[in-house]
Structure 1
Amino acid sequence: MKKRPSQIVLSQYSPLMSVDTPLTDAQGGAVEVPRVYSLCRCGESGAKPMCDGTHAKVGFAGVREDSAKRPLEYYEGKDITIVYDRYLCMGAGFCGELEAVFGTHDAPIYEPDGAPVEEIIATIRKCPSGALTYMIDGVHYKDFFDKPEIVIERNGPVHTRGGVDLIDDQLSDELLPLADHYVLCRCGGSKKKPLCDGSHEENGFEG
């Protein structure tokens, strides 16, 4: 029998329904889960990261307020082209570690000749949202993980890695994550639901 692909399925009012995807908790430990399990995305569950049905009691609706998808941005250098999907960015800030290439949060830049290619690639691979990818010799590199996995960030979002299909009855094809990794809102406050936009940092989400 052919193995079903790993999936996350959701509707406007539902939790994140994960299918055939290993789960890692905020401490880095493997969590024993059934083939299908539900993760909270309203921010109110008493059993975080698992859903306990609170979304129905609080009237949660996963309405997307920001659907202004932007075209991909290409920053071409001598040996590498930085590809940036502004819509996917959730402001994790790892790119700021290579300031000569990416600048700072308040003054971003994209200078593909500002550091050795190896350092740029290493920094891009830290980007959890899939907003940053790269091209070399016309080949677009955007798949960085070998195995499907969901990782819970403490007081942060759901990190999805390894090519987990996202099936959302509201999410049109042009808004689907570009890479094999993306981050999903867990606090309930993102304007780009189900994608994370960094709102957990502002609203003091804990879990």
Structure 2
Amino acid sequence: MKKSQIVLTQYSPFLSVDTPLIAPDGNSMEIPRVCSLCRCGESKYKPMCDGSHSAAGFVGTRENSDKKAPEHYVGKDITIVFDRYLCMGNGACGELESVFGTHDEPKYDPDAASVDEIIATIKNCPSGALSYILAGEHVINYFDKPQVAVEQNGPLHVQGAVNLIDDQESDKLLPMADHYTLCRCGGSKKKPLCDGSHEDNGFEG
């Protein structure tokens, strides 16, 4: 059975192996079994790599590896689990302001909405920063098939069983969940993970 992987070094693009690629419009892209995806933000053929990282002198060294233990917010019926390091500011949780607050004033109140509303909101978090515990079970996996979805002007959303292999032991920073986000603007301090820098540096692609 083929195993989906994303392989990289500090100096190379993402090498996607046996992993379907989904365009920003939601359609599958025709790609070879092994293909290179841009992570420096400079390619003229995004999301594909065109070698621009070499000319730009791109170095994908991570500047921030300060990962702490996930936070647990215990409610009557559900516990919200938040891995602050993985948060890339997607804002999906802000749709349920009574529980998660706002970007400027975040909070985590697991009793401020129904369990179904909280679960639906958590499942919209692409980075794996949010998960939940219900009836003693930590629920972290949502995707049946591996794929990489390209967000317009944003990161790569990795979904399903896709192993990340690099030379900075980034797999130790990943969520236990079957989804995470990868930087493709080149600006993240948590490379190869996205930290939301694309919002500030005007990344387009």
TM-score (norm 1): 0.97
C-alpha distance in 1, partners of 2:108/2:165?
32
SS of the residue 1:101 aligns to: helix
CA RMSD of aligned residues (A): 0.9
Residue of structure 2 equivalent to 1:84: 82
For residues 178 and 67 of structure 1, the distance between their equivalents in structure 2, rounded to whole angstroms, comes to: 17
Higher mean C-alpha deviation, range 168-177 or range 69-78 = 168-177
Q: Which runs of 5+ in 1 are unaligned?
A: none
Q: In structure 2, what is the Cα distance between the partners aligned to 1:172 and 1:89?
A: 15
C-alpha distance in 2 between matches for 1:15 and 1:174: 20
- Kindly state the Cα deviation for residue 172 of structure 1 after the two structures are TM-superposed: 4.7
Tell me the equivalent position of 1:169: 167
Q: Residue 102 of structure 2 aligns with which residue?
A: 104
TM-superposed deviation, 1:176: 2.4
Distance 1:89 1:193 in 2: 13
Deviation at 1:132, TM superposition (A): 0.2
Whole-angstrom CA distance in 1 between matches of 2:171 and 2:19: 22
Size of the aligned set, in residue pairs, is 205
**TM-fit CA distance, 1:173:** 4.7
Could you tell me the TM-score, scaled by structure 2's length? Answer: 0.98
2:27 aligns to what? 29
Query: Matched residue of 1:87: which SS?
Result: helix
Q: Does residue 129 of structure 2 align to residue 117 of structure 1?
A: no
Residue 85 of structure 2 aligns to a residue whose secondary structure is coil
SS in 1 for 2:84: coil
One-letter code of the match for 1:89?
Answer: C
> Letter of the aligned partner of 1:45 in structure 2?
S
2:107 counterpart letter in structure 1 = I
Q: Check conservation: 1:69, 1:174, Cα contact below 8 A.
A: no
Native 8 Å contact 2:88 2:195 kept in 1: yes
Q: Deviations over 1:135-160 (max 9, x none)?
A: 01211100011110111000000010
Aligned twin of 1:186: 184
Q: Determine if contact 2:4/2:19 at 8 Å carries over to the other structure.
A: yes
1:179, 1:87 → 2: CA distance? Answer: 14
Does residue 42 of the first structure (1) align with residue 40 of the second (2)?
Answer: yes
Name the amino acid aligned to 1:143: N
Give the match's secondary structure for 2:10.
coil
Contact 2:164 2:170 in 1 (8 A): no
What secondary structure, in the 3-state scheme, does the structure 1 residue paired with 2:200 have?
A: helix
* Alignment partner, residue 194 of structure 2: 196
| Structure 1 residue 171 displacement after superposition | 2.4
